A and B are shown apart, each in its own frame.
Chain A
Amino acid sequence: MSKKILIIDDDPEILVYLKELFQDNGYETVTASNGVQGLEKVRAERPDLITLDMDMPEKGGTLFYAGMRQDESVREIPVIVVSGVGPRPPALKKGVPVVSKPIDNGKLMQLVDEVLK
Chain B
Amino acid sequence: MIPTTGRRRFATAARRASYTMQTPPEHTTPPAHAKLTVLIVDDEPDIRELLSMLIADLGYATITAHDGLDGLEKFRSASPHIVLTDIKMPGKDGIALLKDIKGLNAEAEVIMISGHGDMVLAIQSLKHDAADFITKPIDEELLEIALAKVSERILLREQVREHTRNLERLVREKSAALVEMERRLAATQVMESMGKAFTILSGAAPEGNYFFELPFFVAIHDGNCNVVTVNEVYQARFGRRAGLRSCSVYERCGSENWVSPVREAAEKQSSVHRDEIMIAEDGTRVPVLSHVSPVVGSGGGIELLLEVAVDVSEMRRLQDELSRTQRKFEHFFDTVPCSITVQDRNLRIVEANATFRRDFGLPEGRTCHDLYKRSDTPCETCPVLATFGDGTAHQFETVVTTTTGRRRNILVWTAPLTGAGGEVEQVLEVATDITQIRELQDHLSSLGMMLGSMSHGVKGMLMAIDGGAYRVDKGIETGDLERIAAGWKTVRHRLIHMRKTVMDILYYSKSREPELAPHSLAAVVAHLAETVAVKAGQSGIAFHSDYLGVNGHVSIDEIAFSSAMTNILENALDACRLDTGKKGHRIELSAAVDGDRAIITVRDNGMGMDRETMDRMFTLFFSSKGALGTGIGMFVTHQIISGHGGTIEVDSAVGAGTTFRVSLPLVDGS
Which A residues fall within an 8 A CB radius of B?
10-11, 13-14, 16-18, 20-21, 24, 35, 55-60, 62-63, 66-67, 70, 84-91, 93, 100-103, 105
The reply to whether B464 and A14 contact each other, CB–CB distance below 8 Å, is yes
Q: Which residues of A contact B462 (CB under 8 A)?
A: 101-102
Q: Are B57 and A91 in contact (CB under 8 A)?
A: yes
- Listed by A's residue number, 11 A-B pairs whose Cβ atoms lie within 8 Å are A11-B460, A11-B463, A13-B493, A20-B467, A21-B470, A35-B137, A66-B46, A84-B460, A88-B140, A101-B462, A105-B466
Query: Which partner residue on chain B sits nearest A24 by CB separation?
Result: B474
Is B471 within 8 A of A86, CB to CB?
no
Instruction: Say whether, besides A56-B626, A60-B139, A63-B137, A103 and B460 are in contact (CB < 8 Å).
Output: no
Apart from A20-B467, A66-B46, what 6 extra A-B contacts exist at CB < 8 Å?
A14-B460, A35-B137, A57-B626, A60-B139, A91-B57, A101-B462
The smallest beta-carbon distance between A27 and chain B, in angstroms, is: 15
Q: Is the CB of B459 within 8 A of A63?
A: no
Q: Judge whether B57 and A17 touch: CB under 8 Å.
A: no
B residues less than 8 Å from A91 (CB atoms): 53-54, 57
Are B459 and A84 touching (Cβ within 8 A)? yes
Contacts of A57 in B (CB 8 A): 626
A87 near B626: Cβ-Cβ < 8 Å: no
How many interface residues does chain B have, given as a range?
Answer: 35 or more
A17 & B464 in contact (Cβ 8 Å cutoff)? yes
Give B14-64 interface residues, CB cut-off 8 Å to A.
Answer: 20, 25, 28, 46, 49-50, 53-54, 57
- Residues from chain A with a CB closer than 8 A to the CB of B460 are 11, 14, 84, 101
Contacts of B493 in A (CB 8 A): 13
The proximity string for B residues 608-652 relative to A, scoring 1 for CB distances below 8 Å and 0 otherwise, is: 000000000000000000111000000000000000000000000
Q: Which residues of A sit under 8 angstroms from B263, Cβ to Cβ? A: none
Return chain A residues, CB-CB under 8 Å to B139.
Answer: 60
Bound together, the chains give a CA A38 to CA B53 distance in angstroms of: 22
List chain A residues, Cβ under 8 A from B474.
20, 24
Q: Residue on A with the closest CB to B56?
A: A91
The CA of A86 and the CA of B137, in the complex, are separated in Å by 17
Q: How far is the CB of B623 from chain A (nearest CB, A)?
A: 9
CB <8 Å contact, B470 and A60:
no
Q: A89 to B53, Cβ gap below 8 A?
A: yes
- Is B164 close to A, CB under 8 A? no
Chain B neighbourhood of A18, CB < 8 A: 467
> B449-483 interface mask toward A, CB cutoff 8 Å, 1 = contact, 0 = none?
00000011001101111111011001000000000
Number of A-B contacts (CB under 8 A): 96
Contact B626 A88, beta carbon cutoff 8 Å: no
Contact of B627 among A11, A60, A63 (CB under 8 A): A11
| Chain B residues, Cβ within 8 Å of A67 | 46
CB distance from B42 to the nearest CB of A (A): 13
A20 in contact with B50 (CB, 8 Å): no
Interface pair B25/A11, CB less than 8 Å apart: no
Bound state CA distance, A67 and B50, in angstroms? 9
Instruction: Give Cα A70 to B49, complex, Å.
Output: 10
- For A102, list chain B residues within 8 Å (CB): 459, 462-463, 465-466
A-B interface, 3 closest residue pairs, ranked by CB to CB distance from nearest: A17-B467, A84-B459, A102-B462
CA separation between A20 and B468, bound complex, in Å? 11
B57→A89 contact, CB < 8 A: yes
Interface centre among A57, A85, A87, A88 (most CB of B within 10 A): A88
Q: Does B141 sit within 8 A of A, measured CB to CB?
A: yes
Tell me which residues across on chain B come within 8 A of A14, comparing CB atoms: 460, 463-464, 467, 627
| Chain B neighbourhood of A17, CB < 8 A | 463-464, 466-468, 470-471
Determine if B46 and A84 form an interchain contact, defined as CB atoms under 8 angstroms apart: no
Q: Which of B53, B455, B468, B628 contacts A84 (CB 8 A)?
A: B455
Name the CB-closest residue of B to A98: B25
Chain B residue contacts of A66, Cβ below 8 A = 46, 49-50, 53
- Taking a contact as CB atoms under 8 Å apart, the answer to whether B459 and A90 are in contact is no
Tell yes or no: B494 within 8 A of A by CB: yes
A84 to B460, CA, bound (A): 7
Contact check: which of A10, A63, A70 meets B626 at CB < 8 Å?
Answer: A10
Report B205-246 CB contacts with A as 1/0, cut-off 8 Å: 000000000000000000000000000000000000000000
A16 to B428, CA, bound (A): 67
**Bound CA span A10–B140, Å:** 18
Cα of A6 to Cα of B124 in the assembled complex, Å: 42
Q: Within the assembled complex, what's the spacing in Å between the Cα atoms of A55 and B486?
A: 26
Question: How far apart sit A57 and B624, CA to CA, in the bound complex (Å)?
Answer: 9
Tell me the complex Cα distance, A62–B459, Å.
19
Quick one: given A62-B140, A66-B46, A86-B25, are A13 and B470 in contact (CB under 8 Å)? no
* Given contacts A57-B626, A58-B137, A70-B46, A87 and B463 within 8 Å (CB-CB): no
The answer to whether B467 and A13 have CB atoms under 8 Å apart is yes
Q: Are A10 and B627 in contact (CB under 8 A)?
A: yes
Which residue of chain B has the shortest Cβ distance to A63 in the bound complex? B137
B23 to nearest A CB, angstroms?
Answer: 10
- Docked-complex contact B470 and A20, CB < 8 angstroms: yes
Across the interface, B25 reaches (CB within 8 A) one of A10, A93, A103, A105, namely: A93
Interface string of B136-159 (1 = CB under 8 A from A): 011111001000000000000000
B467 and A16 contact, CB distance less than 8 A: yes
Residues of A within 8 A of B144 (CB): 88
Minimum CB distance partner of B628 in chain A: A11
Check B567 for interface membership: any CB of A closer than 8 A. no
Tell me the bound Cα distance from A3 to B137 in angstroms. 32
- In the complex, the answer to whether B137 meets A90 with C-beta atoms within 8 Å is no
Shortest Cβ gap from A50 to chain B (Å):
18
B490 CB contacts on chain A under 8 angstroms: 13, 16
Q: Is the Cβ of B57 less than 8 Å from the Cβ of A90?
A: yes
Would you give the shortest CB distance from B467 to chain A, in whole angstroms? 3
Q: Are A90 and B28 in contact (CB-based, < 8 A)?
A: yes
B residues in contact with A84, CB < 8 Å: 455-456, 459-460, 463
Residue of B nearest to A82 (CB): B463
Query: Measured between C-beta atoms, what is the minimum distance from A11 to chain B in Å?
Result: 4
User: How distant is the Cα of A20 from the Cα of B467 in the complex, in angstroms?
Assistant: 9
CB-CB nearest in chain A for B465: A102
- A44 CA to B466 CA in the complex, in Å? 30
Q: What is the CB-to-nearest-CB distance from B138 to chain A, in angstroms, rounded to a whole number?
A: 7
Which residue of B has the minimal Cβ distance to A84? B459
B25/A87 in contact, CB under 8 A: yes
Q: Which residues of A contact B141 (CB under 8 A)?
A: 88
Assess the B455–A13 pair: CB atoms within 8 A.
no
Q: What residues of chain A lie closer than 8 Å to B25, measured between beta carbons?
A: 86-88, 93
Per the bound structure, the CA–CA distance linking A79 and B463 in Å amounts to 20
Give the residues in chain A near B468, CB-CB below 8 Å. 13, 17
Chain B residues with Cβ below 8 Å from A10 are: 626-627
Q: Which residue of B lies closest to A100 (CB)?
A: B459
Q: Closest residue of chain A to B452, judged by CB?
A: A85
Q: A14–B466 Cα gap in the complex (Å)?
A: 9
